[in-house]
């Protein structure tokens, strides 16, 4: 029997029972995707890490025999024409990565901390003003990363709501009709074209202005289209992921309130607590697909050329073979080589940004709302379905 993927799960924070079984008995498993196409699911730490770090494998699912993830005509986010514009491998990818990566260094992120803290403080003040209970996801988790990305891209505050909508639409596998997704993509593309024209005429102190200033490919820079798609990709990659992670992290820390109390007593644990939340997140979404352009051995199984592999980083992060007491959330766990951001040359470009946002949000919440508690029993938290990224529908809290 072929397992349907994503694996259904009624709980918001707990892993599905199938993970342990798959890791133990069937670490290289056949699954059927929402499109009806077949793929191979990996759930063990070593296997997931090996495949994600293998430079020969492609994130693009545009080969004729690659699996389609969803039933929209073009197969969704990972096989769209847009995804192919950013170089996928080799020297060209490395050049792109380094041009953009300089904006995401640890130092730059540390420099953004005060500004992120101000945004978090303001959003929390507004939430408190509206009164309790409140939905922490809508009040803080969702707006904060889009404000930060918009600042980095030089997008004015007035346009933040439109950015939120576009990013939600483009990352959704089932919630929107294909016509809505196409319309959002076209609008977003047009907005970014106009935005880049404005930046070209009047450069600012932002990532896109700098990418334009670096010149075209002949100067070691990017084409106009690559700059545009990079801007779109940074929003899509950096918004929904972090927004949902803020909600899930706070939910995990409040689900057993001794965790929250321990952090109140010792805020120096914030860094390891953030890493452990990333590792422990059992609702992280679809996972990362890879297409095998040649025969590849994984976990002792030879997978034929043309296989589409789904890497479940969340299942791998619960692998007892890689983490002691993997099913226990340990706020002091160190080292914590989790795979939430992937691994190798394609690991998340924005991971320092995400880490910094999560640390700042937690710091400000502990300081401003030490009495924070869940406003519903943890069993009543609902999953958000249909996104490539997993999350909670709402996070009701009191203080």
Partner 1 sequence: MKITVDEEKCCGAGQCVLIAPAVFDQRDDDGIVILLDAEPGEDQHAAVRETAAVCPAGAIVLDE
Q: Which of 27, 75, 247, 342 binds partner 1 (CB under 8 A)?
A: 342
Of 215 and 337, which CB lies nearer to partner 1 in the complex structure?
A: 337
Of 68 and 346, which CB lies nearer to partner 1 in the complex structure?
A: 346
Which residues sit opposite 398 in a β-bridge? Answer: 373
Residue 332 binds to partner 1 (criterion: CB under 8 A): no
Phi and psi at 63, nearest 5°, equal -70, 150
Alpha helices in the chain (DSSP H): 18-25, 45-53, 90-101, 106-130, 136, 143-153, 160-171, 178-201, 207-213, 224-238, 240-255, 257-265, 270-280, 313-316, 351-368
Residue 217 binds to partner 1 (criterion: CB under 8 A): no
Residues numbered 343 to 372 that lie near partner 1 (CB under 8 A) are 343-349, 351-352, 355
Q: Which of 99, 152, 303, 372 binds partner 1 (CB under 8 A)?
A: 99
CB of 176 to partner 1, least distance (A): 32
Q: Which of 107, 177, 219, 300 binds partner 1 (CB under 8 A)?
A: 107
Residue 300 binds to partner 1 (criterion: CB under 8 A): no
Give, in order, the Cα–Cα distances in Å from 79 to each of 61, 205, 294, 388. Answer: 5, 33, 19, 13
Q: Which of 45, 104, 280, 291 binds partner 1 (CB under 8 A)?
A: 104
Of 37 and 357, which CB lies nearer to partner 1 in the complex structure?
A: 357
* C-beta separation of 252 from 259 below 8 A: yes
Q: Which of 53, 63, 376, 393 binds partner 1 (CB under 8 A)?
A: 53
Alpha helices in 85-159 (DSSP H): 90-101, 106-130, 136, 143-153
Q: Which residue has the tokens 């989790």?
A: 338
* C-beta separation of 73 from 312 below 8 A: no
Q: Which of 226, 341, 391, 395 binds partner 1 (CB under 8 A)?
A: 341
Residue 219 binds to partner 1 (criterion: CB under 8 A): no
Q: At what angle do helices 143-153 and 106-130 cross, to 10 degrees?
A: 140
Residue 335 binds to partner 1 (criterion: CB under 8 A): yes
Question: Which residues lie near partner 1 (CB under 8 A)?
Answer: 53, 97-99, 101-102, 104-107, 109, 271, 334-337, 341-349, 351-352, 355
């Amino acid at each position: 029997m072929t397992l349907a993927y994503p694996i259904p799960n009624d709980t918001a924070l707990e892993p599905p029972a199938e993970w342990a079984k798959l890791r133990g008995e069937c670490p290289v498993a056949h699954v059927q995707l929402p499109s009806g196409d077949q793929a191979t699911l990996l759930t063990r730490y070593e296997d997931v890490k090996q495949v994600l770090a293998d430079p020969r494998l492609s994130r693009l699912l545009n080969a004729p025999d690659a699996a389609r993830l969803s039933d929209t005509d073009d197969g969704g986010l990972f096989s769209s024409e847009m995804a192919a514009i950013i170089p996928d491998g080799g020297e060209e990818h490395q050049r792109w990565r380094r041009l953009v990566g300089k904006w995401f260094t640890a130092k730059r992120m540390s420099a953004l901390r005060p500004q992120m803290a101000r945004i978090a403080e303001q959003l929390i003040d507004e939430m408190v003003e509206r009164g309790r209970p409140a939905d922490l996801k809508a009040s803080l988790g969702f707006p904060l990363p889009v404000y930060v990305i918009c600042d980095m891209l030089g997008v004015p505050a007035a346009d933040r709501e439109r950015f939120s909508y576009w990013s939600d639409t483009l990352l959704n596998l089932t919630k929107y009709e294909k016509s809505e997704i196409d319309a959002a993509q076209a609008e977003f593309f047009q907005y970014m074209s106009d935005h880049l024209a404005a930046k070209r005429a009047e450069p600012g102190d932002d990532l896109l202005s700098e990418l334009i200033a670096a010149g075209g490919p002949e100067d070691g820079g990017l084409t106009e289209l690559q700059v545009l798609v990079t801007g779109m990709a940074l929003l899509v990659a950096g918004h929904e992921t972090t927004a949902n992670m803020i909600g899930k992290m706070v939910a995990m820390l409040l689900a057993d309130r001794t965790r929250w109390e321990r952090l109140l007593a010792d805020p120096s644990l914030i860094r390891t607590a953030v890493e452990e939340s990333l590792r422990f997140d059992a609702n992280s979404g679809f996972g990362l697909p890879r297409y095998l352009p040649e025969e590849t051995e994984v976990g002792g199984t030879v997978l034929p050329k043309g296989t589409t592999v789904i890497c479940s980083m969340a299942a791998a992060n619960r692998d007892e073979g890689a983490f002691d007491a993997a099913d226990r959330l340990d706020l002091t766990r160190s080292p914590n080589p989790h795979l939430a951001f992937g691994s190798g040359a394609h690991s998340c470009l924005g991971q320092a940004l995400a880490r910094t946002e999560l640390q700042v949000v937690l710091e400000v919440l502990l300081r401003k709302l030490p009495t924070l508690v869940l406003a519903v029993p943890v069993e009543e938290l609902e999953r958000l379905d249909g996104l490539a990224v997993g999350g909670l529908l709402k996070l009701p809290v009191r203080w």
